[in-house]
Amino acid sequence: MKIKNSNTDLTKLNWDEFYSLPLNQKLGYFDKEGRMFDCLFSQQLSSNNLKTLFDLANKIRKVAKEKGGLDWLQTLLSHKRAMLYFVQPSTRTFVSFQSACYILGMKVSEIRSTSTSSELKGESPEDTIRTFSSYADLIIMRHFEEGMAEKSAWMLNKTKRPISIINGGSGKDQHPTQALLDLYTLNLSFQDKGGIDNKTIVMVGDLKRGRTVRSLSYLLENYKNVKIIFVAPDYLKIGNDVKEFLKRKKIPFKESNDLVKCLPEADAVYVTRIQDEYDINNESKNIDYSKFHLKKEHLRKMKKSAIIMHPLPRRQELDVEIDKDPRAKYWRQERNGMWIRTALIAYLFRIENEINRY
């Protein structure tokens, strides 16, 4: 495999050189024959493949409604095996990917902690991943270390048996399939309201360490005239890398620390929890997060047509009383995740035409 950008042969770089390259110079390394092979970053998803994936997810959920349809879907990848390597806590991402694999008939193995793998005996994560590739046809991974999914894909793409890697969350950095299901949910919610174009999205909470908001912000470049309002405590503001990206792409955004004031403008409010697992010195304890909670009494400030989203899990930042409001979409959002992840796996195994012909 020879992939060249203007002046570098990417296959000749060592990991540190490769990792330090700007993303737009190396995305091609994770494609094969002109299509995405590893799904690692939101920036890999163009409006074209978003549309393909949304349509495919819609088709799959329709086919799966009937027993005959689901039985047929389960034959499509019954000869393939997936490895779920989730060494950071996960409920939804893990179970929805596992369910997605089952819908397509894949056989699934799992490792959910480095304490039960040979990493405890001193094996490197790289050798662990290489080992998975001896047994599986797909690795879906969540890792606490930023860059580990990319490094795994970089390494496997150099071997004689490269298999696709899907990033199910890479530390504080990215969570592209969450962004995908978030967009799929926005798209379904706004399908009779002109789609995602021209909408204002308020993202509130721990925007500094929340990988879901980071990945979703990147994906919004695929829509016209979308405006983002980032609402966060000073210490947890969105990173400069995301802001630079949005400026470059001319996506308007503003920052605020007053949630209630921003609510009337919102077409979607995306609430997130404080990511205190990344604290170094218990710093979250000193932050007054209560101003960034969405409470029942706030709902009357919001448009009737607006929607409320949350990647979940939630704590106090999203009042359970809100669940009854028709604008609450997070439970649906969670289920949408299973269908769009099924579509993504089908796309990586190139069976979308077969499914669309059904």
Active-site positions?
92-93, 121, 142, 175
Instruction: Point out which span in 20-28, 237-245, 305-313, 317-325 binds ligand NCD (CB under 6 A).
Output: 305-313
Strands 227-231 and 253-256: parallel
Instruction: Point out which span in 28-36, 233-241, 280-288, 307-315 binds ligand NCD (CB under 6 A).
Output: 307-315
- 271 CB burial (10 A radius; 0-12, 13-18, 19+): buried
Least distance in angstroms from the C-beta of 202 to ligand NCD: 17
User: Does the footprint of ligand NCD cover residue 189 (CB under 6 A)?
Assistant: no
Least distance in angstroms from the C-beta of 103 to ligand NCD: 19
Select the residue interacting with ligand NCD from 10, 190, 311, 348 (CB under 6 A).
311
Q: Which residue's CB atom is positioned nearest to ligand NCD?
A: 311
Order of strands across the sheet that contains 164-170 = 107-111, 81-86, 138-143, 164-170
Contact present, 337 and 294 (Cβ < 8 Å): no
Nearer to ligand NCD, 178 or 217 (CB): 178
Select the residue interacting with ligand NCD from 26, 175, 214, 329 (CB under 6 A).
175
Select the residue interacting with ligand NCD from 42, 93, 170, 174 (CB under 6 A).
93
Number of residues that bind ligand NCD (CB under 6 A): 12
User: Does the footprint of ligand NCD cover residue 341 (CB under 6 A)?
Assistant: no
Q: Which amino acid is at 208?
A: K
Q: Please, which of residues 252-281 interact with ligand NCD by CB under 6 A?
A: 272-273
Strands 31-32 and 35-36: antiparallel
CA–CA gap between residue 18 and residue 12 (Å, rounded): 9
User: Does the footprint of ligand NCD cover residue 169 (CB under 6 A)?
Assistant: yes
Give 348's contacts (C-beta < 8 A, 6+ positions apart): 36, 37, 39, 138, 164, 166
Would you tell me which residues interact with ligand NCD (CB under 6 A)?
92-93, 169, 175, 178, 211-212, 272-273, 311-313
